[in-house]
Structure 1
Amino acid sequence: MPIRLALVMIVRNEEAKLARCLESASPYMDDIIIVDTGSTDRTKEIAERFGARVFDFAWQDDFAAARNYALDQSVSEWNLVLDADEYIVRFDRQAMDGLLQETKHLGRIEVVSLTSEQEGEGHAKGYITRLLPSQVRFEGRIHEQAVSGLPRVNVPIAVLHDGYLHTDKSARNIPILLAEAAMKPNDAYVNYQLGKEYQGVNDLERACHYFERAFRRLHGRERYAPNAAVQYIYALKDAKRYEAVLSMINLRLSWVQSFPDYHFACGVFYLELVLSDPGRYIAYLPEIEASYLRSIALGETDRYDTVEGTGSYLALYNLAVYYEIFGRTGEALDCLKRAGELGYEKAKARLSALKG
């Protein structure tokens, strides 16, 4: 008997994006379960048009509770959990047929999130546990996590996520996280997520406060630990707390050394540090180049959530700018050429300008 795979979603007022998600996923699914938490638009009508089984659930400011109710409606051996602002861009059916025969693991799908940057759109990539055997459930009021002692493996499913593009969800997320923090004040993950939310609204004082609370409670074994360190560096840098960043870097933490985003963040920091007071910090000038070289040597990663390019074209571009400033034109041209070959249009334009 073939193994069944169900798409399991919770939604509310998603008429603008739900059809896109379901069109991308429905060819691969044996069942579609949609739990609506209070829509007032055409969300449920769109779901039914795709043959989904639609259920209602009263919203309780608890994402895990809603997701677990949705999972309880599934009768399939495997469940794929998506949000309406995500859609499948890659699904290797042949490989998945083999993987679904095994139930001794959880599946981490590739999620590429479009983000708003100063110079346009950015891409953050991570592997998130979303493919679950039937018995697995979530915990956590927000940024919920699948609870299981089973190993987690990357699976050949990729989705694009644009829910945070030109959108601010902090007004929804912060109160839920604060309620979670009141119950779990020493939870590093909750404090990390609060730091990110406050960083997103440029409340650097609160961001640094919660990142520090998270950082002091990390063991380094948590999958998100390197990301917490990187975001803490950026928050401290933006708050001009340069000595605190230096103290953190001087810890020489072993669990960040294989993360290209960490060394990229160090390169960004060292440049700002030197420019802030050249007379005081000029000795750190070589660390700019060294940091970007470490990022490039490590390359792109699938071990952690990462900003695309920190281990390749973004680091190459920043290194090229550094070389250009100090008259090392040949090395600058080489870095720009390599970044351009990776498809970075900004590098191609700068390369043309330098050659012209």
Structure 2
Amino acid sequence: MKTLALVMIVKNEEKHLARCLQSVQQIVDNIVIVDTGSTDATKEIAYSFGANVFDFEWVNDFSAARNYALMQSTCDWNLVLDADEYIVNDCKGIIRHFIETNGRTIGRIKLVNEFIQNGERRYAQSYLSRLLPKGVTYSGRIHEQVDSPFPRKNVHVEVYHDGYVHTNKTERNLELLLQELKQHPTDDYVLYQVGKQYKLLQQFNMAEKYFEKSYRLVPLHASYRHTLVVDYLYTIIANRSFEQGLQVIAIEKKRLDDSPDFHFACGLFYMDAIFCHMDRYAHLFPLIERCFTRCLEIGETEKYDRVRGTGSFLAAYNLGVFYEVTGQIEKAVHFYKQAADEGYGKAIERLNRLLGK
């Protein structure tokens, strides 16, 4: 029988670590935790779960720490998690089947990131390479990537991450990424990650600058290209760079026609462009309805990393708003009901107001 270790790097994670370890302790055979300088109760919590704890002097390089941690594992397979992540589905049998029936393969698990947007909780999901056969390592100072030619395969393991809500490591991440960029100034992935950090800091002019550089360099087959395009569009909306946005949409509309997130961003783009410059962009008005309708046609696809709701309740709500402001109340009620049935609070409020409740 193949053996499996949980492999982690941590620092001052006493608030989150127990939750993570509780979610995996019945799944793994061993727990390896590398501490990079905790001054709280992190180590004590790790020991209480029977973890093998090692110290590592932090050198501003996540891959160096990850690879040191992987070296301490004696198991056939390694599951890599962060302290603010935790497994939420019953997946022990799924993981065991995967590691017994796959050899030179990387397992990709579903990571659901909780974040706040416009005062609302949203959930973005993506598949990340986290189930690694022994010997596989990482590269990259930050936002480290699995460095292996082995094929990737999705595994039905769902992990929640709420670190973006409870902690803010954006400035630290940005500093490390800018160091990485000095060494690799044309690395499209690092440029993309720099743009993401500036976007999180709401420095949208800087974000757009780096997204544009990445967009010009990124290969068509890159796994993160779809997310780059969507993030780029949201930054363009924030900066009201509407002519640039029209160019990006024209380039991508066929390639990303099956992406609800792309069409959702396009719908918001058209709304904002018309609101800011009615005289110049009024001809785009019919495209708003078309974009959100297309989102619902596609639905909640698993093909792309995405924000939950862009293929369902968020798109239905925006269609409801569109029909309400254009006086098509019956249609507005229909789509508000659709979003409300999925528990979307803003749709429930507008529906109740329209119905006089």
Where does residue 60 of structure 1 map in the other structure? 59
Task: Give the secondary structure class of the aligned counterpart of 1:27.
Answer: coil
In structure 1, the partner of 2:323 is: 323
Which residue of structure 2 lines up, in the alignment, with residue 93 of structure 1?
Answer: 92
**Alignment coverage as a number of residue pairs:** 355
Partners of 1:74 and 1:178 in 2: CA distance: 31
Aligned to 1:260: 260
Letter in 2 for 1:38: G
Whole-angstrom CA distance in 1 between matches of 2:209 and 2:4: 42
CA distance in 2, matches of 1:259, 1:207: 22
Alignment correspondent of 1:342:
342
CA distance in 2, matches of 1:266, 1:292: 9
Unaligned stretches of 5+ residues in structure 2: none
State the shift of 1:305 in Å: 2.0
Partners of 1:339 and 1:332 in 2: how far apart?
11
Between 1:22-31 and 1:167-176, the stretch displaced more is 167-176
CA–CA separation in structure 2 for the residues paired with 1:300 and 1:156: 16
Query: Any residues of structure 2 matched to 1:197-276 within 5 Å, and which?
Result: 197-252=197-252, 254-276=254-276
Conservation of the 8 A alpha-carbon contact between 2:171 and 2:197: no
Q: 1:254: Cα distance to partner?
A: 4.1
Structure-1 residue corresponding to 2:304:
304
In structure 2, what is the equivalent of residue 36 of structure 1? 35
Give me the TM-score of the superposition, normalised by structure 2.
0.96
Matching residue of 2:355: 355
**Cα distance, 1:36 vs structure 2:** 0.3
Which amino acid in structure 1 is aligned with residue 334 of structure 2? Answer: D
Deviation at 1:316, TM superposition (A): 0.7
Give the stretch that moved more between structures: 331-340 or 74-83.
331-340
Partner of 2:142: 142
Deviation at residue 91 of structure 1 after TM alignment: 3.3
Distance between the aligned counterparts of 1:170 and 1:284, measured in 2? 36
Alpha-carbon separation, structure 2, partners of 1:285 and 1:15: 51
Q: Matched residues in 2 for 1:327 and 1:226: separation?
A: 35
Query: Residues 29-59 of structure 1: CA distance to partner in whole angstroms, max 9, x if unpaired?
Result: 1000000001111111110110000001111
Indicate if the aligned counterparts of 1:116 and 1:166 stay in contact, CA closer than 8 A.
Answer: no
* Correspondence 1:122 to 2:126: no
Q: Is the 8 A contact 1:21 1:88 kept in 2?
A: yes
CA distance in 2, matches of 1:85, 1:44: 15
Match of 1:78 in 2: 77
Matches within 5 A, 1:155-234: 155-234=155-234
- 1:292 partner amino acid: F
* Deviates most, 251-260 or 36-45: 251-260
The letter of the residue matching 2:57 is A
The CA distance in 1 between the partners of 2:113 and 2:337, in whole Å, is 27
- What SS does structure 2 have at the residue aligned with 1:300? coil
Cα offset for 1:253? 5.1
CA contact (8 A) 2:295 2:310 kept: yes
One-letter amino acid of the structure 1 residue matched with residue 28 of structure 2 = M
2:23 equivalent to 1:24: yes
**Alignment partner of 1:250: what SS?**
helix
Return the offset for 1:168: 2.4
Give a deviation string over 1:325-345, Cα, whole Å, max 9, x none. Answer: 001111111111111222223
Contact 1:91 1:156 in 2 (8 A): no
Distance 1:348 1:3 in 2: 50
Shift of 1:256: 2.3
**Deviation at 1:124?**
1.1
- In structure 2, relative to structure 1, the CA distance for the partners of 1:252 and 1:92 (3 Å cut) is closer
Instruction: Tell me, yes or no, if the aligned pair for 2:35 and 2:43 is still in contact at 8 Å.
Output: yes
Letter in 1 for 2:204: L
Q: Please give the per-residue CA displacement for 1:135-181, whole angstroms capped at 9, x wherever unaligned.
A: 21111111111122222111121111111105321220111000111
Q: Is the 8 A contact 2:36 2:55 kept in 1?
A: yes
Tell me if structure 2 keeps the 8 A contact 1:220–1:255: no
Other structure's SS at 1:126 match: strand
Q: 1:295, CA displacement in angstroms?
A: 1.3
Q: When the two structures are superposed, what TM-score results if normalisation uses the length of structure 1?
A: 0.97
Instruction: Give 3-state SS (helix, strand or coil) of 1:116's partner.
Output: strand
Distance in 2, Cα, partners of 1:166 & 1:208: 26
Gaps of at least 5 residues in structure 1 are none
CA deviations on 1:61-87 (whole Å, 9 max, x unpaired) are 111110011011111111100000011
3-state SS of 2:251 partner? coil
- AA matched with 1:309: G
Deviates more, 1:248-257 or 1:192-201: 248-257
Matched letter for residue 67 of structure 1: R
Aligned in 2, Cα 1:252/1:117: closer, same or farther, shift over 3 Å? Answer: closer
Consecutive aligned runs of 4 or more in structure 1 exceeding 6 Å deviation = none
Q: 1 CA distance for matches of 2:321 and 2:105?
A: 45
Q: Percentage identity across aligned positions? A: 46
Opposite residue 268 of structure 1, the aligned amino acid is: L
CA separation in 2, counterparts of 1:234 and 1:69? Answer: 38
CA distance in 1, matches of 2:137, 2:151: 15
Q: Deviations over 1:258-289 (max 9, x none)?
A: 22111100000000001111122110001111
Range with bigger deviation, 301-310 or 169-178: 301-310
